[in-house]
Amino acid sequence: MRRRDFLEWPFFTPAHRDLAERVDSWAAQRFARQAHDADAHPEDRDSVDAACRERVRDLGRAGWTRYSVPLDPEGPAAEFDVRALALIRETLAWHDGLADFAFAMQGLGSGAICLAGSPEIKRRYLPRVAAGEAIAAFALSEADAGSDVAAIKCSARRESQDGSDIYVLDGQKTWISNGGIADFYCVFARTSPPELRPDGSVTARGISAFVVDAQTPGFSIARRIDLIAPHPLATIAFTGCRIPAAQRLGAEGEGFKLAMRTLDIFRTSVAGAALGFAQRALDEALKHSLARPMFGKTLADLQLTQAALADMATEVDAARLQTYRAAWLRDRGETVTQEVAMAKMAATESAQRAIDRAVQIFGGRGVVHGETVERLYRDIRALRIYEGATEVQKLIIARELLNSARRA
Ligand SMILES: Cc1cc2nc3c(=O)[nH]c(=O)nc-3n(C[C@H](O)[C@H](O)[C@H](O)COP(=O)(O)OP(=O)(O)OC[C@H]3O[C@@H](n4cnc5c(N)ncnc54)[C@H](O)[C@@H]3O)c2cc1C
């Protein structure tokens, strides 16, 4: 089975196959020098920012970020092609983790606008996102509200200013990807105080969504955060940040549902990215084990190596089936909460194992800065945490299972 054979699976249309091949050829050319180019994986913050901006622009010019926003942004309901999103992410991740990140954030950062923005807001932001001319960010998490995201405290108070309706935002958001380089942020904030359940947990009511431009007075970058696999990330702050009420996305109090709907669409593409990293690790491990002389043979001739390769290939294949099944079901309009959670967990967890095996197969070289498998080892880690950590996916799967067992 060759790397791209899965494109023949019945989950895809001819247009998907064509798209995946075109993205692959483009990325192969765009990132051709990468393996030997120290600048391709910059570590210092300014270079990371510049490299990320450049990738957004290049992805836009090549036409790929057009898939991050629905084809008809003026339409009554946003239609995402989840298979296309996952295929693009898998392909980009195979070639370049930062390109995958840049692509993913254009979608996640503008998803709430696609789903609930007014026609005027859609017109103002989406064409520039699709063209790679504006950088988007999704600002939900807070220091004390990550997995327990309903516990957010950032507030949006409605006021009147010179006869116009405005909201005044106060508080902080953290772990915000593209924080520091984004042109705008889709921000989730409380428009009414938290309601507590008897057990002390917070309900999801009273949260609303807004678009905030990066130049708005009262918005600032509180702190930049440096990651093991660098991409722009920051804690952002709102201090009496006044925005027109027309910048609200959807109805007041409906923000939590909007955040979850946005994540529901893009979570499958996280699994796609994990597949790209895992497949790259498998390809590197195959190449290296065939080339590495050992005990008068090659590393590939040793049965323990073969066992590792077999485990890697089987896990990647299983995760890929789950991922594209979830994407296919979603594109058919079905409710796929359980399938998406399974795909995200299976793909990210198995990718971590596959990459770890590849590092082991490379021996000492596997932990040297600049080696592809070393970069993959760092690239994969955050995917098991963001957009719902593995433990959260397990809770979702179990909840769905138990609910249907109770109904039966
Ligand atoms: C690289 C990166 C990029 C990110 N980008 C963004 C972004 O662009 N926008 C944004 O809003 N957020 C972003 N995040 C935040 C991300 O979504 C959170 O980190 C994630 O939701 C986990 O929250 P936390 O870090 O606060 O960990 P916690 O919520 O404190 O979780 C700690 C641990 O507890 C586990 N846990 C959770 N619930 C349970 C349970 N019921 N039982 C047992 N264990 C449990 C978790 O799985 C985890 O292992 C990003 C994070 C990272 C690392």
Q: List the residue whose alpha carbon is closest to atom 29 of ligand 1.
A: 147
One-letter identity of residue 102: A
Q: What single DSSP character describes residue 145? A: B
Q: Of the candidates 321, 262, 329, 326, which has an alpha carbon nearest to the alpha carbon of residue 68?
A: 262
Cα(258) to centroid(ligand 1), Å: 18
Could you please report the per-residue DSSP string of 155-199?
EEEEEEETTEEEEEEEEEEEEEETTTT-SEEEEEEESS---B-TT
Active-site annotation holder among 142, 254, 315, 387? 387
pLDDT-flagged residues of the chain (< 70):
1-2, 33-43, 71-78
Closest by Cα among 174, 153, 156, 151 to 221: 174
What pLDDT score was predicted for residue 69?
87
Cβ atoms of residues 398 and 322 within 8 Å = no
| Rounded CA Rg of the chain | 22
Pocket test for ligand 1, best of 103, 141, 379 (most atoms within 8 A of CB): 141
Distance 391 CA to ligand 1 centre (A): 10
Atom 37 of ligand 1, residue of closest alpha carbon? 147
Residue 350's φ and ψ, nearest 5 degrees, are -70, -30
Give the SS3 label for residue 210.
strand
β-strand 136-139 against 184-190: which pairing, if any?
A: parallel
- Residue 306: how many other CB atoms lie within 10 Å: 13
- Closest to 3 measured CA to CA, from 381, 286, 404, 371: 286
How far apart, in Å, do the first and last CA atoms of the chain sit?
41
> Which ligand 1 atom is at minimum distance from the Cα of 231?
1
Distance 385 CA to ligand 1 centre (A): 5
- Catalytic status, residue 349: no
The minimum-distance atom of ligand 1 relative to the CA of 179 is: 8
Q: Cα angle at 402 between 398 and 404, to 5 degrees?
A: 120
Cα 306 to ligand 1 centroid, rounded to whole Å: 36
Residue whose CA is at the smallest distance from ligand 1 atom 53: 382
CA pair distance 54, 393, nearest whole angstrom: 33
Burial of residue 144, with CB atoms counted within 10 A of its CB: 0-12 exposed, 13-18 middle, 19 or more buried: exposed
Phi, psi angles (nearest 5°) of residue 10:
-70, -5
Ligand 1 atom closest to residue 140's alpha carbon, by position in its atom list: 11
Q: Which atom of ligand 1 sits closest to the CA of residue 387? A: 17
Tell which one of 98, 108, 147 to mutate to probe ligand 1, the residue whose CB is within 8 A of the most ligand atoms.
147
Nearest-angstrom CA–CA distance, 311 and 41: 29
User: Where does ligand 1 bind, in terms of residues with CB under 6 Å?
Assistant: 138-141, 146-147, 175-177, 227, 233, 382, 385-386, 389, 391-392, 395
Return the residue whose CA atom lies nearest to atom 32 of ligand 1: 147
Spatial distance between the Cα atoms of 121 and 69, rounded to a whole number of angstroms: 13
The ligand 1 atom at the shortest distance from the C-alpha of residue 148 is 29
Of ligand 1's listed atoms, the one at least distance from the Cα of 143 is 26
**Calpha distance 242→183 (Å, rounded):** 17
Q: How far is the CA of 75 from the centre of ligand 1 (A)?
A: 33
Mutate to test the pocket of ligand 1, among 174, 175, 185, 226 (most ligand atoms within 8 A of CB): 175
Nearest CA to ligand 1 atom 17: 386
**φ/ψ (deg, to 5) at 404:** -75, -30
Tell me how far the alpha carbon of residue 175 lies from the centroid of ligand 1, in angstroms: 9
> In this structure, which amino acid lies at residue 30?
R
Structure tokens at 105: 């954030």
pLDDT for res 165: 96
Instruction: Determine the pLDDT at residue 36.
Output: 46
Exposure pattern of 151-185 as b/e (b: 16+ CB <10 Å)?
ebbbbbeeeeeeeeebbbbbbbbbbbbbbbbbbbb
Ligand 1, atom 16, lies closest to the CA of 386
Residue 370 CA to ligand 1 centre (angstroms):
28
Distances (CA, A) of 62 to 53, 126, 178: 14, 17, 21
Q: Are the beta carbons of 48 and 55 closer than 8 angstroms? A: no
Q: Rounded to the nearest whole angstrom, what is the distance from the C-alpha of residue 301 to the centroid of ligand 1?
A: 42
